[in-house]
Amino acid sequence: MAARRRRSTRPDAALIVDLGFVLALVAVGAFAAWPIYETWYLLITVGGAVVIAASVVLLGRLRRWSWLTIAGCTAAAYLVFGVPLAIPSAFASRADFLGAYRDLLAATVGDWKKLVTVAAPVGHFQTLLVPLLITMLVCTTAAFSIVFGRVRGYGALVPIMLVPTAFAIVFGTTANGQGLTIGAFHVAALLHTIVGVMAVGIAGGFLVWRGQHARTVALRQAAAASGIRRPGGAAAGNVRRIAGAVAVALVGLAVAVPLSSTALEPSQRHVLRSTVDPTAQLSQYTSPLTTYRAAFSSDGSDPYNSAVLSYSGDAKQLGRLRIATMSFYNGQQYTVLPNDSDRSSAFEHLPQLTSSHHSAGLSELDVTIGPAFRDALGSGVWLPTVSGLKAIGFEGSDVNALTDGFYYNTSLQAGAELGALSSGDRYTLLAQPQAASANPAALTPPQGAVPVTDNVPDSLTQWVQAQGLGSDGQALSELIERLRARGYLSHSLVNPGKGTATAPTWLESVSAPGPKFKQSLAGESMDRIGDLFSDLLRQQQEKGDSAPAAELVAGVGDDEQFAVASALIAQSLGFPARVVLGFTIAGGGADADAIPACDGGVCRGKNLTAWVEVQGADGQWVPFDTTPQSKLPLADHTVTSSVPKVPTQVQQHAATVQPPPEANPSGGNHQNNEHTPKSPLGPGVWLPVLRIGGTIALVLLVLVAPLIALVIVKAARRRERRAAESAAASIASGWDELVDTAVDLGLPSPGVRTRVEAAAVYAAASRAADSATLRTLAHGADEAVFGAFDPTPDEAERFWAQLDEQRDKLAAAFPRWRRLLALVSLRSFRTGGGER
């Protein structure tokens, strides 16, 4: 008795191994998800999910709860603890904490797609830890239910616990990461390979040990029941088998990992993030360059002398503050987004600044929005950032709203804030300091780049040709310098007048002798830029190419016109170019002849400037300052004219007004043809309907396919049993079919009961079934298995006919929904059903 008691208190090895397997794959899943989040709060989320799952399942086992009750308690625990475990931003204020429960409900459904629309690593950005919490909580709850429930289907633990790793892969980044070369073998994606080897290795080792353990337990029970002791050497045999399996696995990994890694090129890694377009289209906002002159106004709030923003930190290392990057010229203006926005112009969420981003080699800049921010920058949607931005962190009571509204485009290196920015809002930028710009004279166009001729004024092309400088980087640099030297700075159409000592106007900075003010039209259309080059070209033709620089000053404008003109010059030579609006920082390498740089930690309206960035063959963007000079005044222009000897008689003609063509939304001049028949239900109407209907049908098919497959499998199993090789096997299998039907309906498995005893249990559970017929079927199955004579095929057919009738009567005692669930139930597969 004492020995039996000691054995009962001995720890269950299978339970310990099962728990170890679950926790090991939880750790692998968290490790695989690290590149997505890169925040230590991930450990709180994963650990909290494991604790909640274990607590609910253990409490359910003590209280003998059903699986439905356990699922309900798990969901309740998720609603209670989901906010502190997955939404750390909720601790910003009491209102944010209460509102986070509403966000938790929305994130439960919507954040799965949102997770792939935010640039990784996402940190603890908003509610993006919620999908990880749900995945871990559901998987560990199901796994612990199997482990603590002592269910024999331990094999289900493997697919369940591989789900967290699959989650990390599917929602992961597209980058393959660093590789590893060992001799002649090359592992292209080391991190992903390690994750795969760990997950598959742990799962395989678990199945091998569990299978060996089950065999050992079965042999031990057989020996105890029969009294026959097993021969010695069993332990040594187990060791040999396990060692052989490990050796085979190691050999397979040594061969498969390098070969598969080499075969999969980095460009072939596709995840959900590869196909989802996380754009926030900003085309409805005005191009910031069109409101450039508002910063130089001294009326009203006086943005020219007021603080647009203030900054502190590593400003000199970062050099320039970028407000907007405009890469697309449509002949009227330079815009941030093209008319046909694609992924190259996509603005996406950038993760909030977390502790994981603070690493060596990154510069930090704190920015505070000033009172003149919106007056100087128009809509105020374009947020000042820096090149090489890695993360951003907002501060203040509205941190969540500002974080949610921030979008960033990595290729343009420009950010937008759709939230309501106001004076005093603060944020921190963490960026990689930019290397020194390449020598502009050494630039060469990227391979495959061609000169742009569309939306380029003819006068610009003629002026470039008149300089005779060529088309390389040296020529581009010289052309931009000549353009600046022959231009004259003017920010307005009307004279701003004299300022005071405390509130000077932009005219005070113009250092030309004599009359300083020259009116300048705003705008950056082809006509405006064409007129600028026409003036420059005419002055050069009148004065000659060798005239002094002071006699060639003829173009009037400011950064709005001269930045666009410089960009079009670069594009006409085959260089990709874009216009950037922003501020330069004192000590950051700004041009002394350009707009004054920000100094003293404050950027005012008078410091706002625009420059051009030109891309070279190495893919780097090189900045060019484009502000025109203001030291030399405009040169005199002499207009020569003569009176014609033969006066021209002007005749009056009546003008015929042509009716305008019908407006076309596509921008063309195509007019309606009234004689052309129109089909009200053409392909353009049906295609979207068919596309949406096909997508819905496909989704429904994917969801229903497993259920249909299960019904087909059960039908095939029934057909195989009925068509057994012998009549005895057919009758015995028929009884198994009856038992499987009862088990799927929710009745207990026979277990150790005899067929006659099982028939009595099923007859009692279903008043529609015939107990006498069920006993007859049970006796018939026993006779077929243990009888002295084999039954005939006719007897087997009669047995199956009675069997089908009793199966229908057995199911008739249950409601319709139970019968439908029985069709797709897996209980007969899990419990073994009729297998005896």
Question: What's the confidence (pLDDT) of residue 76?
Answer: 92
Distance CA 535, CA 459 (A): 9
- pLDDT for position 468: 87
pLDDT above 50 for 639:
no
Q: What distance in Å separates the CA atoms of residue 381 and residue 404, rounded to the nearest whole number?
A: 14
Alpha carbons within 13 angstroms on the beta-carbon side of residue 480 total 31
Question: In a 3-state reduction of DSSP, which class is residue 645?
Answer: coil
pLDDT > 80? residue 801: yes
pLDDT range class, residue 175, cuts 50, 70, 90: low
Top pLDDT among 284 and 800 is at 800
Q: 477 pLDDT exceeds 80?
A: yes
Encode pLDDT of 539-564 as tens digits: 998 888 888 888 889 999 999 999 99
Decide if pLDDT at 774 tops 50.
yes
Would you place residue 611 in the very low, low, confident or very high pLDDT band (cuts 50, 70, 90)? Answer: very high
Tell me phi and psi for residue 3, to 5 degrees: -65, -40
Examine the pLDDT at 406 and tell me if it is beyond 90. no
Helices (H), 10-40: 13-37
More confidently predicted of 170 and 28: 28
Per DSSP, 39 falls in state: -
Which residues, listed in sequence order, are joined to residue 391 by a DSSP beta bridge?
A: 430
* Cβ count near 461 (within 10 Å): 16
Amino acid residing at 550:
A
Average pLDDT score over residue span 372-382:
85
What percentage of residues in the chain have a pLDDT greater than 90? 18
Query: Do residues 49 and 140 make contact, with C-beta atoms less than 8 angstroms apart?
Result: yes
pLDDT for residue 662 is more than 50: no
pLDDT of residue 335: 87
DSSP-derived letter for residue 726 is S
Q: Are 108 and 86 in contact (CB under 8 A)?
A: no
Token pair 């590869």: residue: 274
DSSP helix/strand/coil, 340: coil
Query: Which tens digit of pLDDT belongs to each residue from 151-163?
Result: 666 778 888 888 8
pLDDT (tens digit, 9 = 90+) per residue, 578-594? 999 999 988 766 676 78
User: Which burial class, exposed, middle or buried, applies to 783 when counting CB atoms under 10 A from its CB (0-12, 13-18, 19+)?
Assistant: middle
Contact 194, 257 (CB under 8 A): no
pLDDT (0 to 100) of residue 626 = 92
Residue 248 CB-density burial (10 A; 0-12 exposed, 13-18 middle, 19+ buried): exposed
Q: Which residue has the tokens 């026959």?
A: 228
Lowest mean pLDDT among 158-162, 205-209, 272-276, 754-758: 272-276
Residue pLDDT, tens place only, 47-64: 999 999 999 999 998 888
Separation of alpha carbons 580 and 571, rounded Å: 15
Predicted local confidence at residue 351, as pLDDT: 63
- Secondary structure of residue 282 in the 3-state scheme: coil
Q: Write down the pLDDT at residue 637.
A: 60
Average per-residue pLDDT for the chain: 77
Tens digits of residue pLDDT in 192-219: 667 777 777 787 777 777 777 776 776 6
462: helix, strand or coil:
helix
Residue whose C-alpha is closest to residue 474's, from 452, 451, 444? 444
Kind and range of the H or E element at 406? strand 406-409
Check: CB of residue 144 under 8 Å from CB of residue 157: no
Q: Is the bond preceding residue 748 a cis peptide, omega within 30 degrees?
A: no
User: With contact defined as beta carbons under 8 Å apart, do 455 and 569 qualify?
Assistant: no
State the amino acid at position 110 in one-letter form.
Answer: G
Confidence of residue 689 (pLDDT cuts 50, 70, 90): low
What is the CB neighbour count within 10 angstroms for residue 160?
A: 18
Does residue 635 have a pLDDT over 50? Answer: yes
Positive/negative CA dihedral, 349, 355, 361, 363:
positive
Q: Quick one: pLDDT at residue 641?
A: 35
